[in-house]
Structure 1
Amino acid sequence: MKVLKFGGTSVANASNINLVKNIVANTTTDSLVVVVSALGGVTDLLLNAAYLASRQSEGYKSVLKEIEDRHLDTVKDLININAQSKVLSKVKSELNTLETLLEGAYLIGEITPKLSDKIVSYGELLSAYIIGEYFAQEGLDSGHVDSRKLIITDDSNEKATVNFKLTNANCKNHFAASTHKIVVMGGFIASSEKGNSTTLGRGGSDYTAAIVAAALDAEVLEIYTDVSGMYTANPKLVKQAKAIPHISYEEAMELSHFGAKVLYPPTIQPVLSKGISIHIKNTFRPENTGTLITKNKNEKGKTVRGITHVGKMALLSLEGPGMVGIPGISKRFFEVLSQHGISVVFITQASSEHSICVGISEADIEHAVEIVNAAFEVEIERNKIKPAIAETGLAIIALVGDNMKKHQGLSGKMFSTLGRNNVNIRAIAQGASERNISAVINEGDVKKALNALHEEFFEENVKQLNLFVMGVGNVGSKFLEQVRQQHAYLKEKLRLNIRVIGISNSRTMAFDEGGISLDEWESRLAQGEKADKARFFGTVQKLNYRNSIFVDNTASDEVASTYHSYLGNSISVVTCNKIACSSEFDNYQQLKDLARTYNAPFLFETNVGAGLPIIDTLKNLIASGDKVLKIQAVLSGSLNFVFNNFNDKTTFHDIVKRAQEEGYTEPDPKIDLSGIDVMRKILILARESGNRLEIGDIKNIPFLPEESLNTDNNEDFFASLIKYEDRFQEMYAKAAEADSKLKYVAQYENGEASVGLQQIPKGHDFYNLEGSDNIVLFYTQRYPDQPMIIKGAGAGAEVTASGIFADIIRIGNF
């Protein structure tokens, strides 16, 4: 004996019902019970029709017409035309009765639970009859039974309690006498001892199947749905979720209770005591393994088996000094909720007894506050207890697994993962069985929380980083190309899965929740919406992805001013834009504080030396207890390029123009040649050394004529360079005469910093600095005489992009 149950999506239409028939026909067993739900969506239509009728709205008639059309069309699609008359007659007769019930609700202007159960039962009554007739027509040895004749409950409605003694006897008697190999019956519906229609609660078809399986000592209960088993997380929210091949009754019960909708929570209870296995399978992919639910055979070492959640929850809290040490407070609190039919799904209480907090459905919260305040009216008036506190817009998220018991560090791992992603935890609960660790969070954080936890516990430490890139010009485009080239390597070797979710330039922006293909990002951006920095941030915030990183490849003040918003929402920032870190010290410090407070890395290695590990090395020196005494550096790759290529056979104008065209300078080369860029860099190094310094504190000795410094555009600037060529040639000649080279040097010592052009003699560490290279000398307490030297390419789009990439990898390895 086997029992097979098919849900609403499995019997939604004639095509799906044909798939069900094939599964039934290919099931090997002596006898078979097939439990079916209403045609997909019909139960909701019935409830809607009942509601409209009770509100005396004529709209119920159009809903009834839709219900009628669904069933009649299904009959016409499934049943041969020669046999349709009998089936259509029966279906129309039942629909006429349904119409009478709805007319009654319309006339009296109300719907009682008893009438509601009667109306809603027609979904299963009709589907079971039609499917049973179809099976028989297709040559299966099939019969049909009205479930209300077998499943007996008490007189309550909408979620009646089963009388197992009568039900078990009915099932055994009926199937012992049955002459058919296959019996089709509707799930969800039952009847009271008085013969009134009752229901077992939404999702009750699973429960019906389990009741019958237990009554008949079936060898297995197979539940067919539209997914291939119970998953490690909701696959609609977590794309990487995978089916769990084998799980225990207790684990399945916990997962279903906390929102795994593939299984109705009470289903397990009837089969548990008899050890009947439950097999959850996919109607549309019956060849898939699915999930087998049995006694605990959890693989050794498997701790967390699934992550699930319940949405639309609220917290109800009762607190006050009058609760401490007073017996019976908890009893009264839970008793009043129970008396009014309010189900409690989450409980936590402080050890001081000062407060009790419970999680209930958001739909019940207003009523719960009212009745609790009434129950404790005296204590509230005497200020012994505060009025009940309600919090809405919440969800419960839970880790589930039999082997979580006594496994150290799971709770810490769970909460630290949520904390890293700025998921605020409102309440925590863990049962003595340690099979479930639950936390209450904001409903808007559910998707991020599920994905972050799934990544932590199930994805073999493959960490997903979600990038939002602002600026895709010279540096930005090279960066995207590097990410594209290294994607497979990073995933295989470093366990990092980097996705670019959003990109923007100054004109347009584009987003893709599944990740933008880096083979076609330019066309996606060209077709994007108008660029807007506020809406860009708003989209990043709304998507609320775990491990989100904002990447700024611009030189924009306006973009730099948005870092506070990103960091304050636990979104990491990686930037080559020096403006923020060289702004007012208080702003710089606030950004660093936000990064620490919200656990969002703020990395700007490329602010100094492009891809060279200058800032990282400095941080490590300071962190290890060393102290910087002096910094000497050539920090401008563009200026080094200019003065390495400028001589008496070239013009200063031509060399600067070449540097701009080859990407060594900023779009406005005056930023480099005026010394502003180098001032920012030495300022950042001084600050990272632990010193409070402002840009105005740095002495700048300009080499450009004042007229050049005062130009407003590049055209005038380059014209001024031509005008003063003799002055530049004179500078070169003096250096050559002294057997020296011109280098633009930055220095910090004893709280003072300066930048300016210097003649560097032979033998100095700076003398042989070629091309666009940078060099930094760190004199510290550990390196007082022979400095620590960092030297290499300090300018160019490729190396700057690689520095940004390196910062992102650092975040991935945090």
Structure 2
Amino acid sequence: MQVLKFGGSSVANAVNINKVVGIVQEALKKDRTVVVVSALGGVTDLLLQSGALAAAGDEQYKNVLQVIEQRHLEAVKALIPVAKQSSVLSWMKQRCNEIEDICNGVFLLGELSARTKDRIAAFGELMSSHLIAARMNEHGAVWKDSRELILTDSNYSNAAVVRDVTDHAIQQYFASVNDQLFVVPGFIASNAERQTTTLGRGGSDYTAAIFAAALDAGLLEIWTDVSGMMTADPRLVPHAKALPHISYQEAMELSHFGAKVIYPPTIQPVMKKNIPVWVKNTFDPDAYGTLIEREVMLNGNHIRGIASINKITLLSLEGGGMVGIPGFSKRLFEALASEQINVILITQSSSEHSICVGIEDALAEKAKQVIDDTFRFEIQSGKVDPLVVEKDLAVVALVGDNMKSHPGVSGKMFGAMGRNGVNVRAIAQGSSERNITSVVAASDVRKAINVLHEEFFETTYKQVNLFLAGTGNVGGKLIAQLQQQQKYLQENLRLQLRVIGMANSRKMLFKEEGIDLANWKEALEAGEPMSLQQFVDQARARNLRNSVFVDVTANGEVATVYDQLLSKSISVVACNKVACSSSFEYYRKLKDLAREFNASFLFETNVGAGLPVIGTLNDLKRTGDVVNRIEAVLSGTLNFVFNNYNGEKPFAEVVKQAQDEGYTEPDPRLDLSGTDVMRKIMILARESGEQLEMEDISNESFMPASCMEGSVADFYKEMANQEAHFKALYAKAAKEGKKLKFVASYDNGRAAVGLQHIGPEHNLYHLYGKDNVVLFYTNRYPDQPMVIKGAGAGAEVTASGVFADILRAAH
């Protein structure tokens, strides 16, 4: 004997029912078969809606009943040959009339009892099973009413089965007939008075398990609209994987924690009889599906799946008066049980100072009232604090039989969530160690499940979600590099970088699936008007795992939002120097936020473009070295200018050439005034451990004050007027056989920048083009410094430095 159950989606319409018939035909070749069916998809909801409308005195219930009748009559006409339709149509019409009579009575009384509600809901399965039996009449199908075989108590809507009586009735009936194919309605049963009861939503699965267990079936097949159980809900995790094999206990845990593929009580009856359960896809019958059995071979992963329950409320009862006093827990659970409030999760501190339980959101008010009444004396006397009620939470659970033999699973779980800013409100672990349960904010569920799925199941790649501000010279180069390296990163580093958000000064664009970098300019141009705060709010609200905000602007306002991002565990990669060269208080705040919320705050390109200056400095510090002195040429612009100026070509033209080749800031005066170099040496001093502000740095400017006034055009005009000044600077250095270099220095707490004459014996002399050089004199390098030298300006190398920081943040 084998039992096949088909869900509502599998029998939603005539097309789907014909698929079911084909599956049953194949099954009949193997063994005697019982087919259990749900109501046509959506009909149970319509039936309950009609009852509720009737009880509320709303005559719209009649329209709903017409929809139900029309669906069934149309299905009969589509499935049953014309010559045989009359009797089936007549039977359906009689049932529809019965429903209408019951609803008319409810309408007149203005009351819908639990018993009547079950009576109405039962018609869905009664009609669908009769229809399918008639469709399979040519295969010798026999229709049998489950209410004649399954006996329950009178707990309407969620009745408990009287197993011994039920098993005997099923066995006796099937022993008395010789037919090969039977169709029975799921979900419905009857009590001792032969009144209709139901087994709870999803109860058709349970019906199938009851029949399978009573008949010692060789197999129970659950046919649904997905190809088996998955490692996570595919609606939340696009890369969820099918589970070909799973144990009974794991299936029960996953179904309890919200996996909708199979109804939780289904497993218990078949597990006792060791009957395999095969979850299959009606719409892809050749797919393997999931086989649930007692012993499951390991597939290399001790975690079997991740599940969640939404709309959870935590009730926390605590107080010194609970310590050492027996019976507090008993009174709490008795109070909840008296109001039929199911407890989903329990956690208690070892000090007995507090106990916390999780329940459905909908029952929170009722639970608070009964607990307040039960502990009124203790609360009023101060022995127990008033009950704390926390709503808008969810349960996320890791499930797997083999977790108990693998240490470190909990650490890996909570570490992954912590790194992504998912705060865990409560934790519970079953005594079997088959699940680890955490309570998180409802807004974090999607993120938490994706983070955990990536941590435990994703062997292909890690997904990193970027929010990019700035698409100018450097930003454009960065986007091109990201596009060029996408395939390489996925194949070699197992990273999938997706640009989710993109913005410039005028427009912003968001795409959850990732912006097409081949056509980003057109897409951004068609985006919405730019608002920095809205851009930040979107990045925070989307709450995506492994999020990185990338600032490739020079905008001071953008630098003020880093704290909002870091506090949401969104890493920040900044080409923009403003934040790290602003007040020491803000710089320190950003570093502290990054540490507190497990985010990265990386700004390698603030000094030396793509050169590993800050990274090397941090390596020195982390390994215990002390930086005593720094000498550096930190402006690619100024080095380019003084390497190319010899008094023959006007100074203003050389500066303009540097700007045209992309080496200067948008306003070249930031470079030539020394302000940009001041920022850079201050950042290096701060990273060395010095608390330094801009006003603490001395600046010996070589630029005439008149050049720094007015617009950029005025700046170039005045530089041309001051050519004699620049010639004199060059001539003096050349006469000494030296070169002009704009040097930044830091020496035991003091920092300065200024133009210097550098001779051939100096480390800074042989520096050409736009190169930068940094000399670190430390305890380990007291006389011969550590030297970092190379191209220190240019959009391409700066973009590559930003790219490298993104990869560091990703890891």
TM over 0.5: yes
Q: Report the Cα distance in structure 1 between the residues aligned to 2:261 and 2:490, rounded to whole angstroms.
A: 32
Following superposition, the deviation at residue 179 of structure 1 comes to: 4.5
Give the structure 2 partner of residue 709 of structure 1: 708
> What secondary structure is seen at the aligned counterpart in 1 of 2:36?
strand
Give the structure 1 partner of residue 779 of structure 2: 781
Give the structure 2 partner of residue 31 of structure 1: 32
Give the structure 2 partner of residue 585 of structure 1: 584
Following superposition, the deviation at residue 461 of structure 1 comes to: 7.3
Give the structure 2 partner of residue 106 of structure 1: 107
Greater CA drift, 244-253 or 804-813: 804-813
Give the structure 1 partner of residue 515 of structure 2: 516
> What secondary structure is seen at the aligned counterpart in 2 of 1:235?
coil
Give the structure 2 partner of residue 50 of structure 1: 51
Counterpart amino acid of residue 146 in structure 1: D
Following superposition, the deviation at residue 558 of structure 1 comes to: 0.8
Counterpart amino acid of residue 330 in structure 1: S
> What secondary structure is seen at the aligned counterpart in 2 of 1:26?
helix
Give the structure 2 partner of residue 254 of structure 1: 253
Give the structure 2 partner of residue 17 of structure 1: 17
Following superposition, the deviation at residue 733 of structure 1 comes to: 2.2
Counterpart amino acid of residue 781 in structure 1: N
Give the structure 2 partner of residue 375 of structure 1: 374
Give the structure 1 partner of residue 120 of structure 2: 119
Counterpart amino acid of residue 737 in structure 2: D
Give the structure 2 partner of residue 216 of structure 1: 215
Q: Report the Cα distance in structure 2 between the residues aligned to 1:603 and 1:627, rounded to whole angstroms.
A: 21
Q: Report the Cα distance in structure 1 between the residues aligned to 2:731 and 2:316, rounded to whole angstroms.
A: 82
CA offsets 1:450-500 (integer angstroms, 9 cap, x no match):
011111111127322111111111111111111122122222222222111
Equivalence map 1:285-296=2 (5 Å): 285-296=284-295
- Judged with a 3 Å threshold, the aligned counterparts in structure 2 of structure 1 residues 763 and 503 are, in CA distance, closer, same or farther, namely same
Q: Does residue 364 of structure 1 match 2:372?
A: no
Q: Report the Cα distance in structure 2 between the residues aligned to 1:427 and 1:235, rounded to whole angstroms.
A: 25
Q: Report the Cα distance in structure 2 between the residues aligned to 1:286 and 1:494, rounded to whole angstroms.
A: 37
Whether contact under 8 Å (1:33, 1:183) holds in the other structure is yes
Whether contact under 8 Å (1:635, 1:746) holds in the other structure is yes
Give the structure 2 partner of residue 742 of structure 1: 740
CA offsets 1:496-523 (integer angstroms, 9 cap, x no match):
2211111111111111112222222222
Give the structure 2 partner of residue 718 of structure 1: 716
Residue segments in structure 2 that go unaligned for 5+ positions in a row = none
Following superposition, the deviation at residue 259 of structure 1 comes to: 0.7
Counterpart amino acid of residue 32 in structure 1: T
Give the structure 1 partner of residue 416 of structure 2: 417
Give the structure 2 partner of residue 164 of structure 1: 163
Which of 737, 759, 762 pairs up with 2:760?
762
Counterpart amino acid of residue 277 in structure 1: P
Q: Does residue 650 of structure 1 match 2:660?
A: no
> What secondary structure is seen at the aligned counterpart in 2 of 1:209?
helix
Whether contact under 8 Å (1:298, 1:402) holds in the other structure is no
Equivalence map 1:59-458=2 (5 Å): 59-136=60-137, 139-299=138-298, 301-458=300-457
Following superposition, the deviation at residue 274 of structure 1 comes to: 0.6
Q: Report the Cα distance in structure 1 between the residues aligned to 2:108 and 2:560, rounded to whole angstroms.
A: 64
Residues paired across the two proteins, number = 810
Q: Report the Cα distance in structure 1 between the residues aligned to 2:615 and 2:531, rounded to whole angstroms.
A: 33
Counterpart amino acid of residue 25 in structure 1: Q
Whether contact under 8 Å (1:248, 1:298) holds in the other structure is no
Greater CA drift, 126-135 or 629-638: 126-135
Q: Report the Cα distance in structure 2 between the residues aligned to 1:760 and 1:785, rounded to whole angstroms.
A: 19
Greater CA drift, 391-400 or 372-381: 372-381
Q: Report the Cα distance in structure 2 between the residues aligned to 1:70 and 1:645, rounded to whole angstroms.
A: 85
Give the structure 1 partner of residue 495 of structure 2: 496
RMSD: 1.4
Counterpart amino acid of residue 275 in structure 1: N
Greater CA drift, 442-451 or 327-336: 327-336
- Judged with a 3 Å threshold, the aligned counterparts in structure 2 of structure 1 residues 300 and 539 are, in CA distance, closer, same or farther, namely closer
Q: Report the Cα distance in structure 1 between the residues aligned to 2:637 and 2:63, rounded to whole angstroms.
A: 75
CA offsets 1:359-382 (integer angstroms, 9 cap, x no match):
111111110111111122222232
Which of 784, 794, 797 pairs up with 1:796?
794
Following superposition, the deviation at residue 154 of structure 1 comes to: 1.0
Following superposition, the deviation at residue 261 of structure 1 comes to: 0.8
Whether contact under 8 Å (1:406, 1:434) holds in the other structure is no
Whether contact under 8 Å (1:301, 1:403) holds in the other structure is no
Following superposition, the deviation at residue 80 of structure 1 comes to: 2.9
Following superposition, the deviation at residue 300 of structure 1 comes to: 6.7
Q: Report the Cα distance in structure 2 between the residues aligned to 1:83 and 1:518, rounded to whole angstroms.
A: 61
Q: Report the Cα distance in structure 2 between the residues aligned to 1:797 and 1:74, rounded to whole angstroms.
A: 67
Following superposition, the deviation at residue 524 of structure 1 comes to: 1.8
Q: Does residue 542 of structure 1 match 2:545?
A: no
Residue segments in structure 1 that go unaligned for 5+ positions in a row = none
Q: Report the Cα distance in structure 2 between the residues aligned to 1:69 and 1:540, rounded to whole angstroms.
A: 48
- Judged with a 3 Å threshold, the aligned counterparts in structure 2 of structure 1 residues 318 and 461 are, in CA distance, closer, same or farther, namely farther
CA offsets 1:409-447 (integer angstroms, 9 cap, x no match):
111111111111111111111122111111111111000
Q: Report the Cα distance in structure 1 between the residues aligned to 2:66 and 2:729, rounded to whole angstroms.
A: 93
CA offsets 1:696-741 (integer angstroms, 9 cap, x no match):
1111111121111122x22111211222222222222222222222
Greater CA drift, 644-653 or 196-205: 644-653
CA offsets 1:28-56 (integer angstroms, 9 cap, x no match):
32211111111111111112221111111
- Judged with a 3 Å threshold, the aligned counterparts in structure 2 of structure 1 residues 140 and 658 are, in CA distance, closer, same or farther, namely farther
Q: Does residue 727 of structure 1 match 2:725?
A: yes
> What secondary structure is seen at the aligned counterpart in 2 of 1:82?
helix
> What secondary structure is seen at the aligned counterpart in 2 of 1:728?
helix
Q: Report the Cα distance in structure 1 between the residues aligned to 2:297 and 2:316, rounded to whole angstroms.
A: 37
Give the structure 2 partner of residue 600 of structure 1: 599
CA offsets 1:546-588 (integer angstroms, 9 cap, x no match):
1111000100011000001001111100010000000011111
Q: Report the Cα distance in structure 2 between the residues aligned to 1:349 and 1:159, rounded to whole angstroms.
A: 30
- Give the fraction of aligned pairs with identical amino acids, expressed as a percent: 57
Counterpart amino acid of residue 179 in structure 2: H
> What secondary structure is seen at the aligned counterpart in 2 of 1:47?
helix
Q: Report the Cα distance in structure 2 between the residues aligned to 1:373 and 1:397, rounded to whole angstroms.
A: 28
Give the structure 2 partner of residue 622 of structure 1: 621
> What secondary structure is seen at the aligned counterpart in 2 of 1:451?
helix
Q: Report the Cα distance in structure 2 between the residues aligned to 1:300 and 1:466, rounded to whole angstroms.
A: 30
Q: Report the Cα distance in structure 1 between the residues aligned to 2:687 and 2:417, rounded to whole angstroms.
A: 30
Greater CA drift, 640-649 or 552-561: 640-649
Following superposition, the deviation at residue 804 of structure 1 comes to: 0.7
Whether contact under 8 Å (1:298, 1:403) holds in the other structure is no
Greater CA drift, 257-266 or 75-84: 75-84
Q: Report the Cα distance in structure 1 between the residues aligned to 2:690 and 2:174, rounded to whole angstroms.
A: 86
Q: Report the Cα distance in structure 2 between the residues aligned to 1:232 and 1:303, rounded to whole angstroms.
A: 12
Equivalence map 1:456-467=2 (5 Å): 456-460=455-459, 462-467=461-466
> What secondary structure is seen at the aligned counterpart in 2 of 1:152?
coil
